[in-house]
Structure 1
């Protein structure tokens, strides 16, 4: 990194540290959920220190390995815990920057071998040498100064740890380091369940050069399962109890806490008749995990990182306890697909969705909870619209990728009434 970028990183850190003085941020339901709440982590630390199993109740939902690590940190540098969250978030931004550099470098290498397949006059759609500087800068700035990531870090949410682990996974993915990639993914999967879908892009990347794709895929799946079992065993050894499984993965899957959030689960299951709950619970969880996995993996098999971006976005939209910190992470990955932006048709609509809904959420929460002049329908309407805007963004990105790929190979010229006409992209 050059000096200007280091100054921006420092500015991002200072901004995060300053915002942590506003303690009400961590109490907002858009920022804090039962899964990532700092108050619940503090409760877990207190229970563990006093010899009480923190997972016997329905408060703590963090893995024992993370909880024990936080106990050591709270005991040794309790005054610097907010600074720790800032440093981890800055490390996430740095990892994304390094990952973007490696990604652009690999795309430039690929283009050298595929350039003969590209149509004449499509240079503006191809990755350029200037992207080596522009794209990583856009990625790190999109994470450092996204208001959603700032709020997530200021609220001291454990989403900061999740983003760090996923950034590590993506970094090792583009660097083609299999074992650390699998370990990071397994750890995050055992924490939040939904990242299990990222095993698909991992398999696609590490089987590209394999002679026997099926055997290599099975080997990677076996390694991933072994890592998950090893992490589970290590967590059991820390507290000598299996209660953490139900308090983490079980709590996420069975959706026991109906606290409102920016997702789609809470209102639906509040109104749900109890005898229908199991069926719709399985349906919703399938929608958040396996439903889109196979078709997207088949379509994007040549673009594993785009597949990872889309899957991260989908699990951020459809997971049971989403927060704005989850959304901020995949938004920071969008500059990787800078060459697709010319084909994205709904930028203004998506921007309006984001600005309007995120502005209305606090107002409608105030009217519902404190003023009593509104009800849950008002707040759920904004969260539904927010999810709709995100879906528009994901589908727009996918269509833009398909259009770019078509134009790269077929050119930017079309024929109208038998006469040649050029597509105007801007």
Structure 2
């Protein structure tokens, strides 16, 4: 596997230095106002010249990103390209290790396939080529779940705290991560049982996460020179101040929304993103890794500023659950919907923005198809995750009868 993995990473490195990087960098499907590398460069420039980047309305990255890219990573082209390629390689490595922890093995023939599915997923490598910081978030999500699968609580909670600072909706993963730390990553879909630990054991882990999160918030405040960064970064997901088109479902709705109703629907959309956490964790308490997988799909479908890498991570995670494949109802339909959306998104965006022969309805229609594709995959895997246990019981019953 080592040679093939190195070859895949080398190929990605070559692509990182191709003209594709400049062509894709400002694509609205690959970078959002919260993950755009161009906006990050603008913020770093202002910060280095003594101007508060949060005083305006365009810079929405975390102060952690601001301090990292203004002090450690040079502004030239080569270091960011190498960094993003390395992050993608680390993400693939983390995904493979999650599979090994779930299967309780050291190595398997499936490792290369899992890494290839991640590295060759266009929803993953195109945002990476565009230098979207969603690649950083994707890698941190994988590292969080990898450390949790290994039982490394401090590393997992610290990584999740950093991730939540970069992208606040990721804090919804806290509950399944806590459950995963108190149980194990092995597949228990076929034998659902009540959660084996008392939830009171979550309290020390929750305190540890809170301390890490608050410490990072104080450090960010020192970097930014005040508390104003919270409104521009965390507040953006609740207030939706920037309606730049993206593959999500929020921007067009609030473009057409009367200001009088805006606060109500902002609250409704924000609560809608959070209401799935507890039900999924209760239903899949016997397999917290699967609950985390489903929550990744919900975030990729319903978060306010998604990019292609958000559903891309959910689709890459599918390779970790082969036991669900026989129980999927409409995999072909879901795959065709994703192919349809993948072709429509750039086409309708070009018709609207590039040639001016279309309008916003064209692009939003393609995002609705994309949302339908994501929702179809999510529902199919909720069904399959529940159906595994019933299928195993029936198979056991048939064998017994025979």
Q: Determine if the TM-score, normalized by the shorter chain, exceeds 0.5.
A: yes
1:30-53 deviation digits (Å, cap 9, x = unpaired): 111101101100001101110111
Question: Structure 2 vs 1, CA of residues 379 and 211 (structure 1 numbering), >3 Å: closer, same or farther?
Answer: closer
2:104 aligned counterpart, secondary structure: helix
Q: Which stretch of structure 1 is more off in the superposition, 152-161 or 323-332?
A: 323-332
Question: Which residue of the partner structure matches residue 108 of structure 2?
Answer: 133
Question: Which residue of the partner structure matches residue 2 of structure 2?
Answer: 2
Q: Which residues in structure 2 correspond to 1:369-388 (within 5 Å)? A: 369-388=353-372
Q: Which residues in structure 2 correspond to 1:103-142 (within 5 Å)? A: 103-105=102-104, 133-142=108-117
Displacement after TM superposition at 1:74 (Å): 4.2
Question: Which residue of the partner structure matches residue 125 of structure 2?
Answer: 150
Q: Which residues in structure 2 correspond to 1:21-420 (within 5 Å)? A: 21-75=20-74, 79-105=78-104, 133-208=108-183, 213-288=198-273, 290-411=274-395
Higher gyration radius (CA) = 1
Q: Distance in 1 between matches of 2:122 and 2:275?
A: 31
Q: Distance in 1 between matches of 2:149 and 2:288?
A: 9
Runs of 4+ in 1 over 4 A off after TM superposition: 209-212, 412-415
Displacement after TM superposition at 1:26 (Å): 1.4
Corresponding residue pairs, total: 391
Mapped contact 1:73–1:81 kept (Cα < 8 A) = no
Give unpaired runs (5+ residues) of structure 2. Answer: 185-194
Displacement after TM superposition at 1:366 (Å): 2.1
Mapped contact 1:139–1:334 kept (Cα < 8 A) = no
Q: Distance in 1 between matches of 2:353 and 2:47?
A: 33
1:270-303 deviation digits (Å, cap 9, x = unpaired): 0111111111101111112x21111111110011
Question: Structure 2 vs 1, CA of residues 133 and 14 (structure 1 numbering), >3 Å: closer, same or farther?
Answer: farther
- RMSD of aligned residue pairs (Cα, Å): 2.3
Question: Structure 2 vs 1, CA of residues 27 and 77 (structure 1 numbering), >3 Å: closer, same or farther?
Answer: closer
Displacement after TM superposition at 1:207 (Å): 3.1
1:217-264 deviation digits (Å, cap 9, x = unpaired): 222222222211111011112232111111110112211001111000
